């Protein structure tokens, strides 16, 4: 590479804040025409925000964007499209009630007089695009809602190609695809780059990046920690190190002393051969009172799905869940709750809390019948019980009437925990317990979780943050694509090892 | 219909498992099926079935009164006013909104267009006023919802209250009799074109226009997109807010047209006009297969829904059933129609 | 962009003129002022001591209710010593209770109340009576006689009865005569009473049969719709009784549209449009049975007499009667001129 041609796209010093979060903190990105530029980073590193800025869907607070040598403002999605920037989002941005062809040309339909859609022309053009993508069997007249996820992905791609495109952003395009489909995807990407189109490719799978990537930019905590590394030559170790290298040290509560007698209590939760087709297979695990077990894995590895299946919110295709030796009726939340299982879900605002209601009402929600006398609520007893639970967890402010909406993320999480505490559950399932909780408050939350375990609760923890799983759990199960690939005591693992496992599937050394 | 031509250079790996994970297309036809070369909606077919059953019931119970041209004209005429309103409401619902103010807008437009002052301007004045008042009320709804950020339910509920109030203020509770002969004559048999009442022709024209708008224009695509997935629509470069504004304007315009039709039909304007139209129109649209959450629906289905309702009412009246029985039976038939529809849909799916 | 601005200008001008046109079009003032209502001489025209009458009625969303307000107001204006305190009309029970309480607090001498709902307003009627304010209960009756000093109102059963008798007399020589009934809102007690009276009257005529009945809801729109169905169902009949002249506007329209004229029609309530049609004599509408809004004027008279502790002339009684039920006269071409001024629109 003697003299590089001028870059197709240069983003420099891009900043973007949302209330309470600095999502992008001066990101640089340079993309050449005809290259596959990979964007890497952990969850929350800022990838999604960056590509939305590039798509014109978010306006950056600062920084500049240069396109083919000219400074541009991407003030709306349509501006970006007109320049030739197309984006394929991870959450499919399709309209289910419209046909394939209608989705492909949504917003820029071929028309007569700008108003009447030339349906036949749109279908012919869509069919041509689908053929180019290797899927001529998709009928352009079919409704998108009837298609499989993989086919919807193809339609999304056809939509991106329906513009006169110079740069395509693909956000985890392989997540919904099978290996055959991934091969097809790579053929398409090769075809595009040989036409001079640039591809910004986001994936968690390092092997994919090695196969098709030209250069790599790594994001961490809203910053680009490495710009334009050669994709083939950079060692995996280095990439992983750049993705994980941390400024913040978490403070974890001490585990039971290493020389303490091993936990030999009877398992309270036993999971045997649990399967859900397409999500996870043959998961076995045992959970003893006083123990914290962590599940580590990437998005799509099946970790949240396992938790929800144990809780009965999803029905397993095979296997069973037992509490205290008694098997639970599969797919029944009521059975799980009755047996003493509690879940603090990932989307706690949407799935667990009544945001505008008071702390008391949120905490007592699962135990209301206990305070009811012939249909009337004994509000004094309700309040006192809720207060005992929230005090035990040091929920702040110590005001049972405060609306949950006004609490910080950590204290909202404590309100969810208090609910299960009050219910007297034996097994606590925690899905991303520190999501949206700021760093300072995390340590306190960790201490609370450890204390609950010390009091005899069994805790199953899922987190996308590897250090959290390693620091908090006693035992860790590593998941990759729905399978447990490794199980070990937390002390025997470190972050790099776990990341190697989840990305490569086999230990490297 | 253009089918993609089978390609010579079609590559193997895609084909073998293209149909794989979620849906085997060979079996699944989805809600669409081809009948006589038209892509018809299975739900509409079942509704057509309900209509056939109703006609049979009417023909058996009251053969003389039910099965004649006069009664056909009557059913279609009675369906025409609420039918035009329903076409507008269908657009709003497909676009992810709701319009509770249609009955009130019809009332307001019909009284504003029949004041003594308006009647001075004759036929054109009445027609123009009805349409402009409808459009203006729709504009207020649209601006409040699209740009003011009000929830459609609340904004149109407020419009319901204030439009009814304004209509009462204009009329003072009185019935405004229309004396403009050309308007009155339009509702009489002498104006029928080839035996078809002019109001029915207007209804047919609005239906065809609505069908064309929904299925053949960018406006229709954008409506479905905004109702089905507003974020996807935004990312596709559609001005979501402007589209929402247009939808409420359209609903207002339909109410204006319906108000004029009601003036022709009843020869008067009254502040109690359009009573509970909002419920009838929404119910007809839902029975016709429009998803209350938006993103899916058909004009043909809504119109069939209206016809089912009107035919039921007609059969009841011809059989001299009293209102208590009518109400009970109407509720039962709504539930039955929706159940039959879901059955058929499931049958078509699996 | 000149194109856009020109379009904008055009649109703006159009919008402004449309707005101006519409504003001008809200007016309902007739070109010449219609003559005022009834001018029956009052029972006792000599001026007495000053009386303040509080008047609370429902919202005038119907022609008849509007006429009630007009009758009450203009009757009060006739007496120089009477002051009328009227409240905003309301259909909301709670709001009306509040309005009556306000009138009680203002210490009016007599109250005239047309309740939105008779039963619900009973309590506040009792309250007024206990406070020493006599209450004249208009039309919709309170649940307890203790809540009013005097009730004055229409006779729904009598309306049906008189309509039935009129039709019976017209058709008495016709064999196998068929009659059709277009009723009002079926949920209302008064509709049941009117239908009952009508049925009872027809029992006197063995040659007449009620062949069909449908309920409309007092609106023009429903009158048109229901009548159109009745006409379709009954290819030939001899008489129609319609409970309400407002819905009768729609019924007449449906009759016109169906081109039918083989029957006679009798209306109800006594709207001006119906009386005009009876006088003109060129439609099927031959008569209407009154439910007279002049009862409001009578109520004012009674209230004035109560306030001045007088009786009513023409009766031997010292006191005002506790209940006055008005007669539902049948207005036909024979007596139309007498009643025409009381017609309401």
Question: What's the average model confidence in pLDDT over A108-122?
Answer: 89
What pLDDT score does A45 carry?
77
- CA torsion through residues C296, C298, C304, C305, sign: negative
Q: How far is B309 from chain A (nearest CA, A)?
A: 26
Query: Tokens for C282?
Result: 């060129």
Does position A154 have pLDDT exceeding 80, yes or no? Answer: yes
Higher confidence at residue A243 or residue A422? Answer: A422
A234-238, B146-150, B223-227, C195-199: the lowest-pLDDT one: A234-238
Helix A149-161 to helix A179-194 angle (10° resolution) is 10
CA distance B126 to C147: 49
Query: b/e for C122-135, b at 16 or more Cβ within 10 A?
Result: bebbbbbbeeebbb
B191 touches chain C (CB under 8 A): no
Distance from CA of A137 to the nearest CA of B (A): 7
Q: How far is A148 from chain B (nearest CA, A)?
A: 5
Q: What is the CA radius of gyration of chain B?
A: 22
| Residue C116 and residue C146 share a domain | yes
Are residues C253 and C172 part of one domain? yes
The answer on C254 and C169 residing in a single domain is yes
pLDDT at position B350: 33
Q: Please say if the pLDDT value at position C253 is more than 70.
A: yes
Which pLDDT value is given to residue C39? Answer: 46
Q: What is the mean pLDDT of chain C?
A: 88
Residue B20 at interface with chain A, using a CB cutoff of 8 Å: yes
Q: Cβ–Cβ of C61/B77 closer than 8 Å?
A: no
What kind and span of H or E run contains C165?
A: helix C156-171
Alpha carbons C31 and B116: distance in angstroms, whole number: 9
Put simply, whether B221 touches A (Cβ < 8 Å) is yes
Q: If you measure CA to CA, which chain B residue comes closest to C344?
A: B174
- Closest chain C C-alpha to B308 CA, distance in angstroms: 16
Model confidence at A201, pLDDT cuts 50, 70, 90, reads: very high
Within-domain flag for C206: yes
Contacts of B14 (CB under 8 A, 6+ apart): A134, A135, A137, A180, A181, A184
Q: What residues contact C186, with CB distance under 8 A and at least 6 apart? A: B322, B323, B324, C192, C215
**Same domain assignment for residues C143 and C166:** no
Distance CA(A134)–CA(A142), nearest Å, equals 17
User: Is residue C15 in some structural domain?
Assistant: no
Tell me if chain B has a CB within 8 Å of the CB of C34.
no
Strand pairing category for C135-138 and C150-153: parallel
* Token digits of residue B230: 């507003």
With an 8 Å Cβ cutoff, is B349 touching chain A? no
Average pLDDT over chain B reads: 85
Distance CA C280, CA C277 (A): 5
Among candidates B20, B217, B232 on the partner chain, residue whose Cβ is nearest the Cβ of A115: B217
H helical segments located in chain B: 12-16, 42-61, 63-66, 69-94, 102-112, 116-119, 122-142, 152-171, 181-185, 198-216, 218-228, 230-235, 240-266, 277-287, 299-318, 323-349
| A391 membership: H or E segment, kind and range | helix A379-392
Please give the Cα distance from C73 to C56 (Å, whole number). 12
How many pairs of residues across A and B have Cβ atoms under 8 Å apart? 144
**Same domain assignment for residues C134 and C235:** no
Question: Are B and A neighbours with ≥3 CB pairs closer than 8 A?
Answer: yes
Residues C160 and C179 grouped into a single domain: yes
Structure tokens at C234: 């009954």
Is C250 in contact with B268 (Cβ distance < 8 A)? yes
Describe the strand order of the beta sheet including C239-242 as a list of residue ranges: C208-215, C177-183, C239-242, C264-269, C285-290, C330-332
Q: Do B267 and C253 touch (CB under 8 A)?
A: yes
Q: Is B262 on the interface with C (CB under 8 A)?
A: yes
- Chains C vs A: touching, with 3+ CB pairs under 8 Å? no
DSSP of A100-126: HHHHHTTTS--EETTTEE-HHHHHHHH
In angstroms, the separation between the Cα of residue B11 and the nearest Cα of chain A is 6
May I ask the CATH class of domain B40-59+70-349?
mainly alpha
Q: Flag whether C45 is in a domain.
A: no
pLDDT at B140 over 70: yes
Residue A43, number of CB atoms within 10 A of its CB: 13
Cβ–Cβ gap C233/B187 under 8 Å: no
Give the separation between CA B293 and CA B315, rounded to whole angstroms.
Answer: 32
CA distance B49 to chain A (A): 24
Q: Are residues C164 and C66 in the same domain?
A: no
The DSSP bridge partners found for residue A201 are: A38, A170
Asked whether the bond before A397 is cis by omega within 30 degrees of 0, the reply is yes
pLDDT of residue B184: 94
Of residues A408 and B145, more confidently modeled = B145
Is B317 in contact with C230 (Cβ distance < 8 A)? yes
CB contact under 8 A, A184 and B11: yes
**Cβ–Cβ below 8 Å for C221 and B270:** yes
Q: Does C91 touch chain B (CB under 8 A)?
A: no
End-to-end CA distance of chain B: 25
- Residue B72, class by beta-carbon neighbours within 10 Å (0-12 exposed, 13-18 middle, 19+ buried)? middle
What percentage of residues in chain B have a pLDDT greater than 90?
64
Range of the domain at C187: 156-290
Does the CB of C229 have a partner CB in chain B at under 8 Å? yes
| Chain A residues lying within 8 Å of B15, measured CB to CB | 137
Place of tokens 């008042």: B133
pLDDT tops 60 at residue B15: no
Chain B: residue whose CA lies nearest to C186: B323
Cα A227 to chain center, whole Å? Answer: 24
C33 DSSP 8-state letter:
P
Q: Is residue C3, in this structure, part of any structural domain at all? A: no
Confidence class of residue A207 from pLDDT cuts 50, 70 and 90? Answer: confident
Residues A470/A476, Cβ–Cβ less than 8 Å: yes
Residue B224 in contact with partner chain A when CB distance is under 8 A: yes
Instruction: Report the half-sphere exposure of B326 (CA within 13 A, side-chain side).
Output: 21
Q: How confident is the model at residue C5 (pLDDT cuts 50, 70, 90)?
A: low
Closest chain C residue by Cα to residue B273: C221
**Mean pLDDT score of chain A:** 85
Q: How far is residue A306's CA from residue A369's CA, in Å, rounded to a whole number? A: 30
Check pLDDT > 80 for residue A327.
Answer: yes
What's the pLDDT at C31?
A: 58
- Quick check: B119 contacting C, CB < 8 Å? no
CB distance A459 to A310 below 8 Å: no
Minimum Cα–Cα distance from A120: chain B residue: B2
Higher pLDDT, C187 or C158: C158
Q: Are residues C183 and C122 in the same domain?
A: no
Mutate to test the interface with C, among B111, B200, B266 (most CBs of C within 10 A): B266
How many other CB atoms are found less than 10 A from the CB of residue A252? 19
CB-closest option in C26, C230, C233 to B170? C26
Q: How far is CA A253 from CA A376, A426, A445, A447, in A?
A: 42, 21, 10, 6
Instruction: Answer yes or no: do B20 and A89 touch at CB < 8 A.
Output: no
| Encoded tokens for B269 | 């304007």
Cβ distance B233 to A135 less than 8 Å, yes or no, reads no
Mean pLDDT, residues C18-36 taken together: 69
- The order of strands in the sheet holding C323-325 is C82-86, C51-56, C110-113, C135-138, C150-153, C323-325
Instruction: Give me the residue from C211, C220, C233 closest to B268, CB to CB.
Output: C220
Q: State the Cα angle at B84 between B327 and B53, rounded to 5°.
A: 45
Contact between B218 and A142 using a beta-carbon 8 Å cutoff: no
| CA-angle at B221, arms to B215 and B225, nearest 5° | 135
Confidence of residue A92 (pLDDT cuts 50, 70, 90): low
- Tell me the sheet residues that pair with A154: none
Would strands A427-431 and A458-463 be described as parallel, antiparallel, or unpaired?
parallel
Could you tell me if B187 lies within 8 Å of chain C, comparing CB atoms? Answer: yes
For chain B, domain boundaries: 40-59+70-349
More confident residue, B34 or A208: A208
Residue C200 lies in a domain: yes
* Contact at CB, B112 and C59, closer than 8 angstroms: no
Q: Tell me the chain B residues in contact with residue C253 when contact means C-beta distances shorter than 8 Å.
A: 187, 265-268
Chain B residues with CB under 8 Å of C230 CB are: 317
Last residue of a domain, one of C258, C290, C322: C290
Which positions in chain B touch C229 (Cβ < 8 Å)? Answer: 74, 313-314, 317-318
Q: Does B117 touch chain A (CB under 8 A)?
A: no
Confidence class of residue A242 from pLDDT cuts 50, 70 and 90?
confident
- Of chain B residues 78-107, which have a CB less than 8 A from chain A? none
**Residues C104, C166: one domain?**
no
Q: Write the pLDDT tens digit of every residue in A26-35.
A: 899 999 999 9
Nearest CA distance, B51 vs chain A (angstrom): 26
Instruction: Mark which residues 42-61 of B lie under 8 Å from A by CB.
Output: none
Give yes or no: residues C191 and C267 share one domain.
yes
Closest listed residue to residue C329, CA positions, set C311, C310, C343, C314: C343
CA distance A362 to A386: 9
- What is this model's ipTM? 0.81
SS3 C182: strand
Cα angle A223, A295, A90 (rounded to 5 degrees) comes to: 50
> What are the E-state strand segments in A417-469?
427-431, 458-463
Domain count, chain C: 2
Q: Mind listing the pLDDT tens digit for each residue in A252-308? A: 888 776 666 777 788 999 999 999 988 899 999 999 999 999 998 876 788 888 999
CA–CA distance, A5 with C133 (Å, rounded to integer)? 99
pLDDT tens digits along A338-382:
899 999 988 777 778 888 888 888 888 888 878 877 778 888 888
Residue C4 tokens, joined: 């856009």
Chains touching C (at least 3 CB pairs under 8 A) are B
Find chain A residues with C-beta within 8 A of B235's C-beta: 55, 57, 77, 87, 89, 93
Cβ B21–A94 below 8 Å, yes or no? no
CATH number at residue C116: 3.40.50.2300
pLDDT tens, position by position, C159-185: 999 999 999 999 999 999 999 999 999
């Amino acid at each position: 590479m003697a003299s590089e041609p001028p870059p197709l796209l240069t983003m420099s010093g891009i900043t973007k804040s949302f209330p309470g979060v600095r999502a992008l903190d001066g990101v640089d990105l340079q993309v050449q025409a005809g290259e596959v530029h990979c964007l890497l980073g952990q969850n929350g590193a800022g990838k999604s925000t960056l590509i939305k800025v590039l798509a014109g869907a978010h306006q950056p607070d600062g920084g500049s964007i240069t396109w083919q040598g000219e400074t541009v403002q991407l003030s709306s999605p349509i501006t970006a499209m007109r320049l030739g920037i197309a984006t394929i989002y991870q959450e499919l941005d399709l309209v289910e009630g419209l046909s394939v062809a209608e989705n492909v040309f949504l917003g820029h339909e071929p028309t007569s007089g700008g108003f009447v859609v030339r349906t036949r022309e749109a279908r012919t053009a869509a069919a041509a695009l689908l053929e180019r993508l290797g899927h001529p069997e998709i009928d352009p007249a079919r409704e998108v809602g009837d298609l499989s996820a993989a086919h919807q992905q193809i339609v999304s791609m056809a939509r991106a190609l329906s513009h006169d495109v110079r740069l395509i952003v693909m956000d985890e395009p392989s997540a919904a695809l099978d290996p055959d489909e991934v091969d097809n995807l790579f053929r398409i990407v090769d075809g595009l780059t040989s036409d001079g189109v640039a591809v910004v490719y986001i994936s968690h799978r390092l092997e994919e990046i090695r196969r098709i990537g030209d250069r790599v930019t790594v994001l961490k905590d809203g910053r680009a920690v490495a710009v334009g590394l050669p994709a083939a030559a950079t060692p995996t170790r280095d990439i992983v190190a750049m993705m994980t290298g941390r400024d913040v040290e978490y403070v974890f509560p001490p585990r039971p002393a290493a020389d303490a007698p091993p936990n030999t209590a009877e398992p309270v939760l036993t999971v045997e051969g649990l399967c859900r087709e397409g999500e996870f297979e043959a998961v076995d695990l045992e959970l003893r009172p006083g123990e914290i077990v962590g599940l580590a894995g990437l998005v799509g590895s099946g970790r949240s799905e396992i938790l929800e299946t144990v809780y009965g919110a999803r029905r397993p295709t095979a296997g069973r869940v037992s509490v205290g030796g008694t098997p639970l009726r599969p797919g029944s939340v009521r059975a799980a709750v009755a047996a003493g299982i509690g879940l603090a879900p990932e989307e706690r605002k949407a799935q667990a809390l009544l945001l505008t209601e008071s702390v008391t009402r949120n905490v007592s929600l699962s135990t209301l019948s206990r305070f009811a006398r012939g249909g009337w609520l004994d509000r004094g007893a309700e309040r006192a019980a809720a207060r005992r639970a929230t005090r035990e967890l040091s929920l702040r402010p110590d005001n049972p009437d405060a609306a949950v909406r006004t609490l910080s993320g950590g204290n909202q999480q404590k309100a969810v925990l208090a609910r299960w505490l009050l219910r007297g559950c034996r097994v606590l399932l925690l899905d991303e317990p520190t999501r949206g909780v700021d760093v300072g408050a995390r340590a306190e939350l960790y201490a609370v979780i450890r204390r609950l375990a010390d009091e005899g609760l069994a805790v199953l923890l899922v987190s996308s943050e590897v250090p959290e799983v390693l620091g908090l759990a006693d035992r860790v199960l590593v998941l990759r694509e729905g399978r447990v690939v490794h199980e070990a005591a937390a002390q025997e693992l470190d972050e790099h090892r776990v990341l190697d496992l989840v990305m490569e599937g086999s230990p490297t050394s | 219909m253009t089918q993609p031509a089978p390609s010579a250079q079609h590559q193997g790996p895609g084909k073998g498992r293209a149909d794989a994970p979620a849906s085997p297309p060979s079996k699944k036809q989805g809600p669409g099926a081809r009948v006589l070369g038209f892509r018809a909606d299975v739900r509409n077919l079942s509704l057509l079935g309900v209509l056939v059953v109703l006609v049979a019931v009417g023909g058996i119970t009251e053969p003389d009164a039910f099965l004649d041209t006069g009664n056909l004209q009557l059913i279609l005429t009675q369906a025409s006013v609420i039918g035009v309103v329903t076409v507008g409401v269908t657009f709003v619902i497909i676009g992810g909104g709701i319009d509770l103010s249609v009955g009130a807008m019809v009332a307001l437009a019909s009284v504003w267009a029949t004041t003594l002052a308006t009647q001075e301007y004759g036929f054109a004045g009445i027609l123009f006023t009805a349409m402009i008042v409808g459009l203006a009320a729709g504009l207020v709804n649209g601006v409040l919802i699209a740009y003011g950020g009000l929830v459609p339910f609340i904004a149109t509920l407020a419009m319901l209250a204030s439009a009814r109030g304004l209509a009462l203020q204009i009329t003072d509770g009185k019935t405004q009799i229309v004396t403009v002969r050309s308007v009155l004559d339009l509702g009489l048999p002498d104006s029928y074109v080839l035996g078809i009442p002019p109001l029915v022709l207007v209804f047919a024209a609005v239906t065809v226009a609505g069908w064309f708008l929904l299925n053949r224009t960018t406006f229709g695509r954008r409506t479905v997109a905004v109702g089905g997935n507003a974020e996807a629509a935004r990312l596709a470069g559609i001005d979501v807010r402007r589209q929402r504004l247009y939808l409420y304007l359209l609903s207002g315009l339909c109410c204006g047209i319906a108000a004029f039709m009601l003036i022709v039909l009843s020869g008067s304007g009254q502040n109690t006009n359009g009573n509970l139209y909002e419920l009838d129109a929404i119910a007809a649209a839902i029975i016709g297969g429009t998803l209350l959450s938006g993103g899916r629906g058909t004009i043909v289905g809504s119109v069939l829904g209206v016809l089912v309702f009107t035919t039921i009412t007609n059969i009841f009246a011809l059989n001299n059933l009293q209102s208590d029985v009518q109400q009970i039976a109407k509720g039962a038939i709504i539930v039955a129609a929706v159940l039959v529809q879901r059955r058929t849909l499931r049958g078509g799916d699996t | 962009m000149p194109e856009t601005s020109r379009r904008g200008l055009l649109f703006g001008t159009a919008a402004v003129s449309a707005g101006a046109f519409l504003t001008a079009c809200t007016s309902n003032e007739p070109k010449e002022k219609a003559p005022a209502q009834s001018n029956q001489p009052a029972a006792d025209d000599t001026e007495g001591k000053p009386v303040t009458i509080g008047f609370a009625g429902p919202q005038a969303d119907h022609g008849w209710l509007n006429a009630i307000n007009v009758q009450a107001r203009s009757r009060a204006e006739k007496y120089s010593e009477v002051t009328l305190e009227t409240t905003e009309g309301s259909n909301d029970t709670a709001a009306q209770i509040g309005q009556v309480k306000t009138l009680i607090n203002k210490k009016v001498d007599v109250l005239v109340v047309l309740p939105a709902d008779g039963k619900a307003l009973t309590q506040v009627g009792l309250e007024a009576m206990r406070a020493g304010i006599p209450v004249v209960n208009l039309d919709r009756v309170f649940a307890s006689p203790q809540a009013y000093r005097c009730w004055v109102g229409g006779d729904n059963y009598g309306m049906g009865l008189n309509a039935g008798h009129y039709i019976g007399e017209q058709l008495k020589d016709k064999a196998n005569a068929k009659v059709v009934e277009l009723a009002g809102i079926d949920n209302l007690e008064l509709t049941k009473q009117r239908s009952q009276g009508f049925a009872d009257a027809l029992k006197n005529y063995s040659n007449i049969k009620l062949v069909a009945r449908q309920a409309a809801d007092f609106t023009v729109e429903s009158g048109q719709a229901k009548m159109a169905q009745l006409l379709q169902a009954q290819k030939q009949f001899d008489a129609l009784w319609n409970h309400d002249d407002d819905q009768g506007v729609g019924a007449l329209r449906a009759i016109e549209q169906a081109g039918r004229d083989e029957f006679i029609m009798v209306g109800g309530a006594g709207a001006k449009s119906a009386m005009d049609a009876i006088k003109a004599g060129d439609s099927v509408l031959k008569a209407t049975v009154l439910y007279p809004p002049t009862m409001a004027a009578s109520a004012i008279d009674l209230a004035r007499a109560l306030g001045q502790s007088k009786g009513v002339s023409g009766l031997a009684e010292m006191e005002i009667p506790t209940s006055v039920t008005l007669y539902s006269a049948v207005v036909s071409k024979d007596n139309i001129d007498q009643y025409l001024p009381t017609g309401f629109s």
